[in-house]
């Protein structure tokens, strides 16, 4: 079925805007006029995007900036969620998609959550023929890219 990715992202940003404001964070969604339609389960895709956005808010300090973008890149639509938060140590990067894995157990426990969010996100992305990439630098920030397969349709 045709679902609007831009619409899902917009709704998720609106939902977490209030949490970001509470931490004096600035969350910006770079809206474009393009509306990308993809095939998939809207509820599950929303779950992925919400988890990544909620992580960005949760693992960033006060006054951080969170930037969200949707763009077309080759055969994919890429949703980028970038934060200026605490970052993830390189040695942990390959494990954050494991079930129950959390960086810095004590700190994470204090923040709540189960450590399942990214494992579920990865699974959902793969079910949709997509994938997730992450770049991070400790003390600088983290950037997640969600790749959704996309077939451009000619306007009729
Ligand atoms: P849950 O999503 O189940 O509520 P969680 O947020 O701890 O719990 P994941 O979403 O799977 O679990 O994330 C795994 C771990 O990766 C987190 O505990 C955190 O240590 C790290 N992490 C995820 N996103 C970020 C981020 N944007 N910046 C820094 N660390 C992050
Ligand atoms: Mg999470």
Q: What string of DSSP letters covers 78-109? A: EEEEEE-SS---HHHHTTTTSTT--SSHHHHH
| Pairing outcome for strands 37-39 and 76-83 | unpaired
Give the chain's mean pLDDT: 93
pLDDT at residue 156 in the model:
47
DSSP per-residue letters across 26-81: EEEEE--S---EEES-HHHHHHHHHHHHHHHHHTS-TT-EEEEEEEEETTEEEEEE
- The helix/strand/coil state of 128 is coil
Cβ(54) to ligand 1 under 6 A? no
Cβ(124) to ligand 1 under 6 A? no
Considering the entire predicted model, what is its pTM? 0.94
pLDDT at residue 4 in the model:
94
CB contact burial 80-104 (16+ within 10 A = b; e otherwise): bbbbbbbbbeeebeeebbeeebbbe
Q: Which atom of ligand 1 is nearest to the CA of 114?
A: 3
How would you write the pLDDT of the chain (156 residues) with one tens digit per residue?
689 999 999 999 999 999 999 999 999 998 887 889 999 999 999 999 999 999 999 999 999 999 999 999 999 999 999 999 999 999 999 999 999 998 886 667 677 788 899 999 999 999 999 999 999 999 999 999 999 999 877 654
Instruction: Return d(Cα 98, Cα 11) in angstroms, integer.
Output: 27
2 class by beta-carbon count within 10 Å (0-12 exposed, 13-18 middle, 19+ buried): exposed
Instruction: Return d(Cα 63, Cα 75) in angstroms, integer.
Output: 35
pLDDT at residue 154 in the model:
65
pLDDT at residue 71 in the model:
94
Measured in whole angstroms, the distance separating CA 145 from the mean position of its chain's CA atoms is: 7
First to last CA, the chain: 18
Contact 77, 150 (CB under 8 A): yes
pLDDT at residue 106 in the model:
63
Substitution candidate for ligand 1 out of 59, 64, 90, 140 with most atoms within 8 A of CB: 59
């Amino acid at each position: 079925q045709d679902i609007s990715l831009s619409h899902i992202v917009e709704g998720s940003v609106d939902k977490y805007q209030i949490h970001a404001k509470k931490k004096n964070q600035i969350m910006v969604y770079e809206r474009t006029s393009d509306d990308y339609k993809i095939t998939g389960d809207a509820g599950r895709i929303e779950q992925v995007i919400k988890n990544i956005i909620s992580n960005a808010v949760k693992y960033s300090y006060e006054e951080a900036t969170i930037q969200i973008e949707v763009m077309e890149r080759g055969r994919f639509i890429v949703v980028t969620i970038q934060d200026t938060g605490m970052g993830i140590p390189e040695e942990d990067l390959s494990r954050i998609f494991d079930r129950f894995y959390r960086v810095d157990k004590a700190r994470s426990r204090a923040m709540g959550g189960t450590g399942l969010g990214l494992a579920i996100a990865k699974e959902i992305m793969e079910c949709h023929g997509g994938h997730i990439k992450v770049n991070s630098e400790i003390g600088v920030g983290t950037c997640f890219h969600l790749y959704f397969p996309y077939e451009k349709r000619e306007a009729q």
